[in-house]
Chain A
Amino acid sequence: MRNKKIFSAAVSVALLTLLWGGQAPASAEIKTITIGVPGLPPSQGNPFKEGPGTPGIHTYAAIFDALTRVDSKGVVRPRLATRWKSIDSTTWRFTLRQNVKFSNGEVFNADAVIETIDFLTSVDGRKTVIGSTELPDVTGAKKISEYLIEVTTKTADAILPAKLAALYIVAPKAWKSAGQEVFAKAPIGTGPFKVDSISTTRIELTAFKGSWRAPKSDKLIIIPLADAASRLQALQSGQVNMVAAINPDQIAAVKKASARVFVVPAPQVMSLAFNTIKSGPVTDVRVRQALNYAVNKAEIAQRLLAGKGKPATQGVTPSVLGYNRDVQGYPYDPDKAKELLAAAGFANGLTISADITVGSFPSDNLIYQTVKSDLAKVGVTLNYTTITFAQWLPQYNTNSWKGDAFGLSWNSAPRGDASRPYAIFVCKPVGAFYCNAGEDALVKKAALELNAIKRLAILKEIAVKVTASAPALYIVEQIDLYALGKNLYGFSANNRAITYENIYTGTK
């Protein structure tokens, strides 16, 4: 009898405990979004030391804003600047967004932008990636009024507003008092999240409710999971709500786990660029064209990019300003390839070599191997040397390539403008690997043309000419693949910048 009483008391306590647990106030629940990415920015919270793409962008899109952003159609949209116009050939005037605050309470205004641009043009700023390679021609900024500034450039720059999408505005006082090194550990921007802690294996952020793009979630955790298989497993087991950069061959597994795949066309064309400055078979345009005809790009896009990528017809993708729909590129035609090779004096085939880096794009290694086997069918032996990015960069900067070709992505991000990749294929004083005076003149003309319609016409003309001269073996338009857990909503990505403010977990 006594035992029975104890038993029923215990059951009651257990039930009450369960009920208590079940009644945990839903409103107080902290909504955390955890995402898995291939890597965190090595320079941590210093947004000037990283290129504008991955891995930095997965982190910076949560913390910072630039004056502008470029949408998926290549159109420049307002961000911290609401309007802009060209004042003269080397000056642009920007009207700034009002009522915007940094996460430390500082006010966003002309002084904030000027502080950022002052750093960019300083000796130290010029040693950063953004100062040296993204915006080397910006010479300064001037305050006109509290919310009006003018930015000047060395030479006429028709697309400065698009280029400024790569420049994140930092909280001026925090930046100045902390200096680059300390700021990197506690970065402050106007974005939807502020950093709580930052390490090489984890970044934890809290919602900045006062942000002009206030987030729907309370916390954001960004975890680097370099291995694609363990990234997927982290999603399958529900430890992360979302992962970036899954492989096309993982799509089926994602769907099986009732997660969704989000595919975004990347403004990037994967190619093998030819070193036409060095003597060799690829100095002959017929050989370059033949190699382009010999590869079945549509098949690669279908089979290795799960039908989500597209065969490349030119150096830019349809989302980029300057894409020319009339350019059809090189459809798969091995007979024509053989004809061209014979005309160039290689009827019995030839051997070429290329240096490549792998692991940067979905299925890149498999794509390169398929290119090799397609070329073998027309009698071309392609030998690869796989190198690291650290080995790639100095050879690229100085054109010290020993081979006939090297892996190169025609990247139009983040400005979404064809001028970015075209500027690589010019007669540079140092490091040129391709030089065509006619095309060069057009690229320069486009850079100086301030009339948007005329400029677009020039870019389209460049597309025709550069495609015809085939300075590269255009392979595929690449894709970015994200996998979203079943309870994650509001996801979108713009030029690889995740719109963190709209993401939330729960019910739709």
Chain B
Amino acid sequence: MLDNLALLVQFPAVTVDVVVNGLLIGAIFALAAYGMALVWGVLNIVNVVQGELVVLGGYVTFLLVQAGMPPLLGLPVSAVVMFGVGWVIYRAIVFRVVDKDVFISILATFGLAILIQQLANLSFGADVRSVDAGLGSAYFLDGMVTVAWVKLIAFVLALVAGAALWLFLRHARLGQAIRATAQNPRAARILGIDTGRVYAATYALNAALCGAAGSLAVMAWTIHPYMGLPYTVRSFMVVVVAGVGNVGAVVAAGLGLGALENVAGFVLGTEFQIAFVFALMVAILVWRHGRAARRREHLK
């Protein structure tokens, strides 16, 4: 561990490489986390099937590329296809658990996650899939710092998607309806908002964001049917840290998590990388709980 720290000091370029790559990893987490925050905030559902939606998005891109489509074009198409998938999932299953206890919705989405894993395994096989975007890498400082173009695209896209989402929620009619429904579904219904439609749109939008994240994941890394969990856990963490109502905080938390995770993997060794993520989550939950308790005390 000390050796690794010394390495960071000795080679500043390596530090830059580790942090930059971490930020880029975080961008893909942030993308999936927007959707989770949205669903959590509006439908009050912890969407445990998030990672599977990411993986499905990856498969859509993979299949399109197999069929001869340029990889980057697969990105918007995956988002659109997943929008449809999200809509169907909502209309078939999720709407049943919207007003129910949080445990029921966790159980339902967890079951859905297992179902999608197995279906993906049956239809696409258990093989590890990856798509070569054919873009290569940018490199600086004598090749010590490398940035895969795909990851850079992911980074830019995460920021653009964040901004677009913020504008959409603020100014578009549907966005305003989504916010109204999140604040008070009953009042929204009274004012003529079709909350069922808003819920469906929100869930579909979430799936579309996951589709984009998955499309980038299959180009930057690899996917296979059981790859969903890391994305679910990371999205959950990001939302826990950032809260459900703040797009900017989601970006910051996503990028921060990616960078911290990568530095931890470097310094502590990769065997502790995931452990670090979970430890961090526990620490943050304890901290938030404490903060919430203090606030309550203050109110009394």
Q: Do A and B come from one complex?
A: no
Which residues in B have some Cβ–Cβ distance to A below 8 Å? Answer: none
Which residues in A have some Cβ–Cβ distance to B below 8 Å? Answer: none
